[in-house]
Chain A
Amino acid sequence: MSGMSRRGFLLAAAGAAAATALTPPKRRLLQMNGYPLDAETPLELLGETYITPNDLFFIRHHWNPIFPDARTWKLTVDGEVERPLALSLADLKAMPQSSVTCVLQCAGNGRSLHRPIVPGVQWKYGAVGNAKWTGVRVRDLLDKAGLKAGAKHLHTFGTDAPPEKVPPFHRSVEMEKILRDGIVALTMNGAPLPQLHGGPARLVVPGWAGDHWMKWLARVSPQAEPQTGFYMDTAYRYPKTPGAAGVTFKPEEMTPVTELFVKSNITSPPAQARVGKKATIRGIAFSGAPDVSKVEVSDDFGMNWTEATLGKDHDPFAWRLWYHDFVPKAAGKTTLVARATDSSGSVQPREAVWNQSGYLFNAWPSVEIEVVA
């Protein structure tokens, strides 16, 4: 990029920003960080469709990624296997393909809502989406390589590399989980996996937080022990036993973030409601358990609950859209709250468990509605 075009870009960006301020586009991402890229989906767009379109799907990069060249890229399989492999995209496409439609949520989604405030990307609601992922089952991949007994953890590596002395983003996933549900995804909603989302291949770990879903996947390596390092031993950990808000835990007092917590959100409250007239609120609900069994709405802060209607679309570890019709009885402000219950019986709590990294916020969502006579 030349100096002139950089200046031109700045001017163009300033102009675009001014226009944006006047008329915010409806279809948009909310960019939290210019580089590395972090951007979330606006809350009101989340509940519009069962499948989140690729271009509206949240983006989360730890650092400026090195995008692999799909023509020369290979996925290495080594470690505790009989036959180490190096598979091209064509090799992977030639293997049996499986699909899963499920939620991807950043572990830190909702971080900005924790109190006391914690550092990190200040995600609100939209570091989450629901997509159809297609590719090679991890089980098939490791069968092909000849997985040895005793390998309990799949170590995963992407092509992105940290700047300076920042520790590398090396991770591992428990073998039992990844063999049961894991996919090396090559497509997202039917399109080649976009580079911004980890293309040409990323790991998909249905029901588990995004830190397990390695992007720009370059190498997987079954090992007896879990991965070590900052992003296993310090980051992406959650208190084993909830403590008082604001009290910092030591790493050994915490356990890795894995399954998502049951969570609903209200994505579209009515702009206005009228006494005696039906109004509708809509939302999403998901969990680390395979399904959401119900969503309830309360207009008295949880004293009484009414069950909402779940959308028909439905897959294991995917979200459920929901809606709730109600008829306001009196004019004035009314506050509605929602909570979800998942198929294992977990109920969304009134308050999220505070933790120093701000993971897995899942308190009841609430919305205030103006009811007019």
Chain B
Amino acid sequence: MRTRGRAAAAIGVLFGGALLLGQAGPGGSREGDLPALGTQLGELPAGEMKPLADQACLHCHSADMIRQQRLNEKQWTAEVKKMAGWGAAVPDDQQAALVAYLVEHFGPDNDRFQPVAAQPAGR
């Protein structure tokens, strides 16, 4: 399913990858509960760097975390460095291009993000 269109690819990264393998542990996991609450997975915007961003970022968190940011180049550079240090798969020679992509779409003027209205969780 990961090859069938953008939405399927994104969800493949979310559910098919090591996200779950890395998180499942003895005594419990969230596998049965994903996707959770009001999940409506926003995507990263189209662009040359989208595949890398999908691969490097969505492994650990949804695109929402990026889509809500409004950061300048200096701030995005620091974020990308931090995340690369924490294991995000961003080759050194791709970091500048990734930062440029993030600044272009999620710079200080970004006002497009809206939270997902979720039905209250009963548990």
Contact = CB atoms under 8 A, between A and B. Distances in A.
A159 B25 contact: yes
A35 B69 contact: no
Interface string A24-54: 1101111111111101100000000000010
Contacts of B117: 20, 24-25, 28-31
Contacts of B71: 117, 119
A301 interface: no
B25 to A, nearest CB: 5
A200 B40 CA distance: 28
Nearest to A64: B23
Contact of B35 (A27, A34, A163): A34
Interface string B26-40: 011111011111111
Interface string B110-121: 000101111111
B79 interface: yes
A328 to B, nearest CB: 32
B47 interface: no
Contacts of B34: 1, 35, 64
Contacts of A122: 68-70, 113
A57 to B, nearest CB: 9
A6 B11 contact: yes
A192 to B, nearest CB: 9
Contacts of A56: 120
Contacts of A117: 70-71, 108
Contacts of A30: 115-118
Given A35-B36, A164-B86, A73 B61 contact: no
A163 B24 CA distance: 11
Contact of B15 (A6, A20, A31): A6
Contacts of A1: 15, 31, 34
B62 to A, nearest CB: 4
Interface in B10-54: 11, 14-15, 18-19, 22-25, 27-31, 33-42
Interface stretch (A7-15, A78-86, A96-104): A7-15
Given A30-B116, A165-B87, A69 B28 contact: yes
Contact of B23 (A17, A119, A161): A161
Interface string B62-73: 111100111100
Nearest to B8: A7
Nearest to B114: A30
B15 A16 contact: no
Interface residues of A, number: 54
Contacts of A9: 35
Given A165-B87, A166-B60, A34 B40 contact: yes
Given A64-B23, A66-B28, A29 B35 contact: no
A313 interface: no
A66 B115 contact: no
Given A13-B39, A166-B86, A29 B60 contact: no
A113 interface: no
Contacts of B94: none
A10 B11 contact: yes
A68 B15 CA distance: 21
Interface of B: 1, 7-8, 11, 14-15, 18-19, 22-25, 27-31, 33-42, 59-65, 68-71, 75, 78-79, 85-88, 108, 113, 115-123
Interface of A: 1, 3, 6-7, 9-10, 13-14, 16-17, 20, 24-25, 27-37, 39-40, 53, 55-56, 59, 63-69, 72-73, 117-119, 121-122, 159, 161, 163-167, 194-196
26 contacts: A6-B1, A6-B8, A7-B1, A13-B35, A24-B117, A29-B37, A29-B38, A31-B38, A33-B68, A35-B36, A37-B36, A64-B19, A66-B23, A66-B24, A66-B29, A67-B28, A67-B29, A68-B28, A72-B27, A117-B71, A119-B78, A159-B27, A159-B28, A163-B18, A167-B86, A196-B37
